[in-house]
Structure 1
Amino acid sequence: MFRIDDKHAVITGAGSGIGKAVALVFAKQGAIVHVLDVQENAALQTVNDITSAGGRAQAHVCDVTNQKQVTELFNSIEKVDILVNSAGISHIGSADNTSESDFDKVYSVNVKGVYNCLYAAIPRMKTNKGGVIVNMSSIAAVVGLADRFAYSMSKGAVYAMTMSVAKDYLADNIRCNSIAPARVHTPFVDGFLQKNYPGQEKEMYEKLSKTQPIGRMGKPDEIANLILFLCSDEAGFITGCDYPIDGGFIKLNT
């Protein structure tokens, strides 16, 4: 089950974290993986990990905020059967202390970056007579999180774009869903703790872990497995849905 043999899967932000986990599990399940990342070395490392295990992958350096670059890259790929919009950045701040430049940066990557990839991928999928898209939303799209104003804005937009795309391309056999993770333990989390809580990393990690009712952060592989399911033929009846994967955060924290 959940094989995606010979499908061309484009994954943004696949040089690390959740995006890399998605790339690895997709390759294991038979896909030809296109690893997109703004960091060339990270993209090449993901590809090396895949090919060393017998999988198929190509690295592409791509700034998702640049529509011309994104469009040219997508047009150079043989086919686009699957798109996973995983690239994103975070930000800490409320409405009155988030600078305009920081707001614009979050918007540019998390919102415009997703739009640019949709803009480039959907015509290819229409030509192929179908495709699957999974966007990375967040619990921040649907619940209030302290000091996550710009980030929450961006993930709310991702959720809305997902529903719009799912509706607009039903007749083109293009399915579009999003997932809403809570905190997931990635290198980004470790870097965040080192930057913002030097000397308190262990204490803050435990505190953040316990905000999930299940008592821990998610694992990148757990997120990747849900995305794999949504991109497989077994999920062929699913479109226009947002899936919380949050250790009970949304439903059990109230």
Structure 2
Amino acid sequence: MSKTKSTASLILVEDNETLSQELEHYLTEEGFDVRCADGGQALNEALLERPADILILDLNMAGEDGLSIAQRIRKSMPAVGILMLTARVMSSDKLAGYESGADVYMTKPARPAELCAAIRNLLKRLAPQLMRTKWVLDTKQLNIRFQQTTTIALTSVEADLLRALALGSGSVEVEAIQTVLQDQNTDSAKFKLRLEVLISRLRVKLSPYTDEVNPIKSVRGRGYQLCLDLEIQ
């Protein structure tokens, strides 16, 4: 096996702990930066920590299944690679996988060497990929770019908030945002006031460059919804 270090970051979304550990060990030995998640919520948390180049998705998982995860992630992170690794072998399953946003669909059991080759091939295809969205959130440089011509500076809290909203499926509840911003020690009433200030500040920054009157909409009784086509880097 190759021990050459790769800069590629992978997240393996698999709820079979034994298989997850085996694949993590093999892919790490091959030089990839591998993180594991046992479902959609764990994947969200991993992506909030830092982005990934490729997601390896199982389909049959408790809670949110792989197809739903792929659809959601493809919308918020169109540049990420999605490789589905599943026991579903029917042609209709493969079609559903590709329609949900998969770049590669592989069936179990897959030989580790074949999986590794598929990952490397996908990385080659992703490398020259052009930006496909108007808005790009750069979590390292702490800015958001519009059509590659306008760059808007963000605070780290604003960047974390935008990422949480982008990764959410529909509206994001206030309690979930409070967890992402690691502000659980503030009572809920005070946090809601703080969040309203943050949302208002982001609206002021983003509104001049969007057709949306409110790029971040309030959803009564639930939380907030991002109304931008946003890619996360």
Tell me if both proteins adopt one fold, taking TM over 0.5 as the criterion: no
TM-score by length of 2: 0.42
Which structure is larger by alpha-carbon Rg, 1 or 2?
2
Higher strand share: 2
